[in-house]
Structure 1
Amino acid sequence: MHLLFATSIVPDGALASGYEIANAAIIAALRRAGARVTVIGFTWPGKAAADPENTVVLGAIDVRTENASARQKLAWVGKALLSGLTFASVKLRAVSDSDVLAAIERAGPFDGYVLNSVQFAGAFEKLFGDRPSIFVAHNVEHLSARENAAAASFFQRLLFRREARLLETMEERLCRRARFVFTLAEEDRAALGVASNDRSAVLPLVTGAKAPAHEGVRHIDCDAALIGTWTWQPNRIGLDWFLGRVVPHLRPGFRIRIAGRMPSGVTSTHPGVEFVGRVPDARAFVRSAAVIPLISTAGSGVQLKTIETFELGLPSVATSRSLRGIDHRPANCVVTDDPVDFAKALEAAAADVRDVDGSAFHRRQVKALDAAIRLGLEKLVPARQEAFA
């Protein structure tokens, strides 16, 4: 079976974000199941596809809002309003429908599409109706847009509300047309209206094909460490909750390092908080902390930072939202949504560091991931036979 994996940004091997880690895990699982996978989409500027022989590149593009000039942002907004597309999808309209169709033809004969999230599928939606498809819903995007609206300024609130309306109808269409839907969290199946086992399955994810190697005794040089794409609104909401509601309850000497690009306006008066920007080795950074705060309070889908923490066997304190899409919680993970209890649990974990073996968690995730992928492909096979009989 030959599948065309349609995505906004093709893998470049860097695995710099949770989205890219998830894509790599899903593509690897499809190939383990015996499918030939060709990826189609854009690259980041200055980046090359990690697997050029099995990738069709539409061009280079930077779709990150925080990197765009004010003029570019206004152009995207205007184009979105005129076209009826979402803000996220209109950024990908850097090429025409005919360009994408020509690229699809270059991919050679194939049996079906894997439509990876709504952004690319929404930008070129009418081009993907000629073959059966599987839709991968990384998040319930319309619910995330509603949450973003509640935390935004007046003008941004209007834009997010518009996104939510458009995304809800788009997600409904993509799910209805798909022969099968993959989500990354159990609750997302019901939110998308595909909770039946004949219609959908959850993909448990991993951060790599193999479990992280055990690296011996850790050198701990801070109490807690966080790393993330804080310019992404759901992550920003969680960070604001942590800094505003949890950190004030931590003792002054509690040392917290926060890595990743920081949006304007994020500050903390706590003397132990340090914003360190980009770090050269994300895994080494989190391993240097006594405990990992898992602070998601918004969004849908799965938190890849939670999965990585569990694979590494590191102690953690997590909100309940940080555990969505994960069936098994290690013994050294404390769960609470109360800010005061969260702070107390962080201090307790930092005072008594207890690592565990994360390889069992990784094996469990891979086994469940491969089973879910096989189920989806089995649903696509009769669709292929019916379409081309």
Structure 2
Amino acid sequence: MPKVAIPGSKSITARALFLAAAAKGTTTLRRPLFSDDTEGFVEGLTTLGYAVERDGDDLHVKGSPEGPTGVASVFCRDGATTARFLPALSASGHGQFSFDASNQMRKRPMSPLLDALGRLGASITVGAQTGHHPFTINTDGLEGGEIELDAGISSQFLTALLLVGPLTRKGLDIRVTDLVSRPYVDMTLSMMADFGINVVRDGDHFRVPSGTYESRTYRVEPDASSSSYFFAAAALLGVEVHVEGLGTESLQGDLRFVDVLKKMGANVHLDRSRATVSSSGHLQGVEVNMRDISDTMPTLAALAPFAKTPTLITDVFNTRVKECDRLEACAVNLSRMGIKVETGRDWLRILPGLPKAVEVETFGDHRIAMAFSITGLKSNGVMSFDDPGCVKKTFPTFFTTLEDFVTAVRTAY
């Protein structure tokens, strides 16, 4: 019964870094994720003047509730949390802060957040393309007050405002007109409470009080999205896998991917601190709305050809504006493997079949690379990848971890 060591949650690490930077005192983060995305976030914090020190598997962050001051230029790399959370944090400070990002991140939308920060008192100067990186924020703190927000493309816009809300002079009263990936908002609210700020929520109406976050020691749980590949591998190969540190008390909505596997015929058991998935290897297709767990959509798409019946994935339009158009990337790769697929604006239908080995076009997207690695475990031939290094974004050791998992499976079974 193989156990897999999954690195820390990217989503929790990013939120914890923001909260630690905004808190009074020094916060210690236990076993956060160390990857290109989180290193970019730490680099951004350092550029803004925050003190961050690595100590083995931990990080120590000295907070500043007053926000950053002076002049700084932050390069956000490919990281969406860096590119969306740090501008909100900088707007709470006093000075001029410029932001730019990779060509990949420059294509991703920023308008809902930038418009909101502008309405709250920051002055935003945009670059060549309105609503995208690069841009500059001139600020003397945020006043706060009432605001309406569309978070139908990304919940990160809402999370950024929720996180910065206590740093405003009046607090925030946020009414959300559309919202995707709701579990990530639940995660944000829970973590804010852990750092001393309680948000009043009434449906999609959020009241965030002005206040001060308190520093603490905070343990980061393993990444549920990264775990999905090994859960899928167990279901595909007809074996059992354990992931320690994920269970019924997890903050991460993407752990609900195991419910999808259960519908496909896998066995799932969760206790407080461990998730177990096992399978006979015989899977049924499913029809599933993945709006709230869309980061695991490529995992299901990569697994679906091996089911006995078709799989229909719905309500995932927001995956078209991730690191790549993930809906299209899945369809393109599956088609090249000889699998029949049908797509629409926000859905993907996948018919059963034996995928033939091809060179997977990752589109520079870590989730496409990791998901179709699972397809390769039972494809007809040896699967290869045009850019295997893209996994460094969230899971630098993915391929060695997968190799160790396969070796453990061969030993155990």
- Higher RCO (C-alpha under 8 Å, 6+ residues apart): 1
Given the two structures, how large is their TM-score scaled by the length of structure 1? 0.31
